[in-house]
Amino acid sequence: MLKRLDWNYVRGNLAKTTGLSRKPSDFWKQNFYVTFEDDPLGIRTRDYIGANTIMWGSDYPHGDSVFPHSKQVLTEVLSECTPEERYAMTVKNVVDLYDLPFELSGPEQARANNGWAVPV
C-alpha cells in the first residue's frame, strides 16, 4: 500500500490534491509501527517500511503464541536480518516508542551476541 501511495504521490496528483509535503511512506516511517510474531514475509518489507517501525510481540499467553519456542522462531524469522535490525525489532523500537526507563545495551553488544539483547 505504501509503495502504491508513493507512486501516486510522485507520478499522480496526490501531492497536489492533499497538500502533502513528503511521500506517504515518509509519514509512515515517522508515525506508525507494526508488530509481528512469526511473519517471515512481513520481515522482508523492512527495507521499505524501515526496521525501526517493526516490533516483535510474543502474544503470550494466548494459545496460538509461539511460546515457549520464541527464541527459536525469532532466529528463523530474523535469519536474514543484521544484528542491528534484530536488536531494533526485538528491543530498541519498543523502548523508544514507550519511552521505557531502560538503559539499552546497544547494537554493539547485540552484534557480539548475534543480534540478541543483552541485559544491562
In tens, the pLDDT along 90-107 reads 989 999 999 888 777 766
Residues 6 or more apart whose CB falls under 8 angstroms from that of 94 comprise 55, 100
Q: What number of helices (H) and strands (E) belong to the chain?
A: 9, 2
In tens, the pLDDT along 32-51 reads 999 998 999 889 989 988 99
Read off the pTM.
0.78
Distances (CA, A) of 2 to 33, 37, 79: 13, 21, 25
Per-domain residue ranges for the chain? 1-30, 33-120
